[in-house]
Amino acid sequence: MPPDPSELNHRELALLRAVASGRAEITCSSEPDLFFDGLACCDQACARTLATRGFIAPARSGEPWERVPAALTPAGEALLLPRTAAA
């Protein structure tokens, strides 16, 4: 069963949408930092939560602390899919 978007707050969902836009970078580390348009995300704790929960990840491997493109994981993508009401 895919994750339920109601489990996330508005800021977490906004960060997922921003990553989906292709403008995000993430550092290759166990505690990743997130950047948008070259600027540090204002809520690194939220960004790290999304990474720890497996919703965002580096799009490719890199050296420790290198910034690489950020991408949604399949679980992150599922959170942004429109929900259909059960019939």
Whether residue 37 lies inside any domain: the answer is yes
Whether residue 30 lies inside any domain: the answer is yes
Q: Tokens 């059960």 sit at which residue? A: 86
Whether residue 86 lies inside any domain: the answer is no
Helix (H, G, I), strand (E, B) or coil at 82: coil
Whether residue 32 lies inside any domain: the answer is yes
Q: How many residues does the chain have?
A: 87
The answer to whether 76 and 84 are in contact (CB under 8 A) is no
Whether residue 31 lies inside any domain: the answer is yes
Whether residue 87 lies inside any domain: the answer is no
How many structural domains is the chain composed of?
1
The answer to whether 46 and 30 are in contact (CB under 8 A) is no
Q: Letter for the amino acid at 45?
A: A
> pLDDT at position 83, please?
61
> pLDDT at position 85, please?
47
1-59 pLDDT, tens digit each:
566 777 899 999 999 999 999 999 999 998 999 999 999 999 999 999 999 999 999 99
Range(s) of the domain holding residue 58: 5-80
> pLDDT at position 64, please?
95
**Ramachandran sector of residue 3 (left: φ over 0; alpha: ψ -120 to 50; beta: rest):** beta
> pLDDT at position 69, please?
98
